Chains A and B, each alone.
Chain A
Amino acid sequence: NAGVTQTPKFQVLKTGQSMTLQCAQDMNHNSMYWYRQDPGMGLRLIYYSASEGTTDKGEVPNGYNVSRLNKREFSLRLESAAPSQTSVYFCASSEDRVHEQFFGPGTRLTVL
Chain B
Amino acid sequence: SQELEQSPQSLIVQEGKNLTINCTSSKTLYGLYWYKQKYGEGLIFLMMLQKGGEEKSHEKITAKLDEKKQQSSLHITASQPSHAGIYLCGADTWGKLQFGAGTQVVVTP
Q: Are B42 and A106 in contact (CB under 8 A)?
A: yes
A interface, how many residues as a size bin?
A: 20 to 34
Q: Are A58 and B42 in contact (CB under 8 A)?
A: no
State the interface size on chain B (CB cutoff 8 A).
Answer: 23
Q: Is B88 an interface residue (CB 8 A)?
A: yes
Q: How many inter-chain residue pairs (CB < 8 Å) link A and B?
A: 51
Q: Are B88 and A48 in contact (CB under 8 A)?
A: no
Which A79-112 residues sit within 8 Å CB-CB of chain B? Answer: 90, 92, 97-98, 100-106
**Stretch in B13-21, B70-78, B94-102 touching the partner:** B94-102
Scan A65-80; emit 1 where CB is below 8 A from any B CB, else 0: 0000000000000000
Q: Are A43 and B88 in contact (CB under 8 A)?
A: yes
Chain A, residue nearest B97 (CB): A101
Collect the chain A residues with CB atoms within 8 Å of residue B90's CB.
Answer: 43
The prevalent SS among residues of B at the interface is strand
Q: Are B99 and A98 in contact (CB under 8 A)?
A: no
Which B30-87 residues sit within 8 Å CB-CB of chain A? Answer: 31, 33, 35, 40-45, 48
Q: Are B95 and A98 in contact (CB under 8 A)?
A: yes
Q: Are A103 and B42 in contact (CB under 8 A)?
A: yes
Decide yes or no: A42 and B45 within 8 Å by CB, A50-B95, A58-B96, A98-B92 being known contacts.
Answer: no
Add 14 more A-B contacts to A33-B96, A43-B90, A45-B97 (CB < 8 A): A40-B101, A42-B4, A42-B102, A48-B96, A58-B96, A90-B43, A97-B96, A100-B48, A101-B45, A101-B97, A103-B44, A104-B42, A106-B41, A106-B42
- What would be 21 A-B contacts, judged by CB atoms less than 8 Å apart? A33-B96, A41-B101, A42-B88, A42-B102, A43-B97, A44-B99, A50-B95, A58-B96, A59-B1, A92-B43, A97-B95, A98-B31, A98-B92, A101-B33, A101-B45, A102-B45, A103-B35, A103-B44, A104-B42, A105-B42, A106-B40
